[in-house]
Chain A
């Protein structure tokens, strides 16, 4: 018999992804004054492929937090930024699927993981935004895709839909808020080019 349920015990005694990524591209930290837990998530990203190449965590917390953060780093490995951006909303249910239902008083442990991931992704977006200023107007802030890059993709592959653009260059694949803008770019491009 263990202090925690079997699934939690497995990760509590053998946590995965503990530590800190060297020269992290994104860091997300959260804490709870309610229970006294603290969590820091660090990510390494491949700029070209938008893939998370490494995810690590450090935590002060109970077994549920350690297990949740372990599952988070496992699922993040080799995920594209696009997938990771979509993850926070369903992360809690994903974690409980892996680890079993949490008691009510431990539910916030999974929520802390969601918040740390959200904070890391926001931090990454902000840092890519500062890099993409000037004439390279940023359309997709989730993936840091500029208008010029989207136009280039449309031209190269002769793209006609937002979905095609997303597949080609990730733009619009995150929160989706830039999809109308991509629509406009597509309209402008084909109006100009058909007329020409």
Chain B
């Protein structure tokens, strides 16, 4: 009797799991005709890699919870009291683009990229004390369509592949002293690959707060 119950439970579990998989959109269609699934475990492992990039200075400095950006590898508050402003672009008289142009200005040490601005507060990856949020918290924010501008898996992948300010992180230009800014912990290609695996794994998020 126990065996039947166990099997029944197992079957129930498998069905439930399958249902959950379907509901969570794990089977992604449309962008690739090849077999493109990854396991949840693979997705989680890939997420760890993605998280390590997102919380590296070149990315997280503009994903703040405060009304200011950060700068530098030590991630201190950006100098000259620049502020977020209503649209993350600064304020009249002190816009992001008051200094940051469309490309890096290596001769003066100011980084630049298209439409330089702060990520919206919905996409903050730190708390108000400038501490990076946990892996699970960042992940949850990333997949929350009400926060991420309606992006699903494919859109998230495309964002990481093509968005100008994302690409900037791997071409961050020179500091005023001539040294190259620190790159994220892996190449852009590796980052995209990890993103893809994570997406194919169902954009799983680790448990926890």
Co-assembled chains A and B: no
Q: Which residues of A contact B (CB under 8 A)?
A: none
Q: Which residues of B contact A (CB under 8 A)?
A: none
